[in-house]
Copies of this chain bind each other. A is one copy, B any other.
Amino acid sequence: MEKIKRNERLAAMTQILTAAPNRIFTLGYFCDMFKTAKSTVSEDVAILEDTMKKFQLGRLETVTGAAGGVRYRPIQVGGPQRAFVEDICRKLMDPSRLLPGGFLYFSDILADPEYVSGMGKLIAGAYYQTPVDFVLTMETKGIPVALMTAQALNVPLIIARRTTKVYEGSAVNISYLSGSGNIETMSLSRRAVKEGSRCLIVDDFMRGGGTANGMVELMKEFNVTVSGICFVLGLENPTAHLINGEKCLMLMSDLKPGENHVVRPADWVV
């Protein structure tokens, strides 16, 4: 094999690292791939680290210790994320999105790959210091953002269903009081979750917190710790608090007759 130039190594490393966020690659992995010395790969990593910082493309981090190596995390403080969320807020404030009953139409935003990818990275960025073994969401609207969060954290996604499905095998079902005051059910395949693991709950919208409370109850059945809860959109003045420190990416003002609704990024989005 011909000698691989630094140019080529840097391009290939960038693709490999950014396609698998939060995964630790050993320097040896790249030494083998490029048939080159560890010191050379170390220099490559240093160049990449600076370049990511300079162009606000995320952070490359060196992890020391036995399981050490290098990993990519897509968010950096002061990056373009605040402007990105402000742009979504502007879209959500379009008066035509307000539906009868005070509901907001945002299914289009919640299924747009570019938006959900950005939002998932942002949510993941808030939980890199928290132990998370999987992301949990309840079907349907939150699935895309939850998937992108799971991808950025490098953990699986698990989707709770409204009813038991034959193709899920034996399942645990619970009943919960929904935000609209109805008793609803939630179901999760027994084999989906490992006892004693830790989850991050991600969902699209928090009104009364009923569904999220249901997910917390469901996790108790599996002996799973809830490490965090994050909603794409919440209310400025929520009527419920689910656990200490639940987060929302965006906040919507109370609806007042004759006034337009206001949506803004949460303060932690910096």
Contacts and interface: CB of A to CB of B under 8 A. Distances in A.
Interface in A29-59: 33, 47-48, 50-52, 54-55, 57-58
A18 to B, nearest CB: 5
B16 A57 contact: yes
Report the contact-size class of chain A (Cβ under 8 Å from the partner): 35 or more
A156 B51 contact: no
A132 B203 CA distance: 29
Interface string A103-118: 1111110011110110
Contact of A99 (B107, B140, B169): B169
Nearest to A20: B114
A8 interface: yes
Nearest to A99: B169
Interface stretch (A84-92, A160-168, A235-243, A258-266): A160-168
9 smallest beta-carbon distances between A and B, as pairs: A113-B151, A14-B14, A103-B167, A111-B157, A8-B51, A139-B140, A11-B51, A12-B55, A143-B143
Given A108-B192, A144-B147, 16 more contacts: A8-B54, A8-B55, A10-B10, A11-B11, A12-B51, A14-B14, A33-B55, A99-B169, A105-B191, A107-B159, A107-B168, A111-B157, A139-B139, A140-B161, A143-B143, A144-B144
Interface of A: 6-8, 10-16, 18-20, 33, 47-48, 50-52, 54-55, 57-58, 99-101, 103-108, 111-114, 116-117, 139-141, 143-144, 147, 150-151, 154-159, 161, 166-169, 189, 191-192, 205
11 contacts: A8-B47, A10-B10, A11-B47, A11-B52, A14-B18, A15-B18, A16-B57, A113-B157, A117-B151, A140-B159, A143-B143
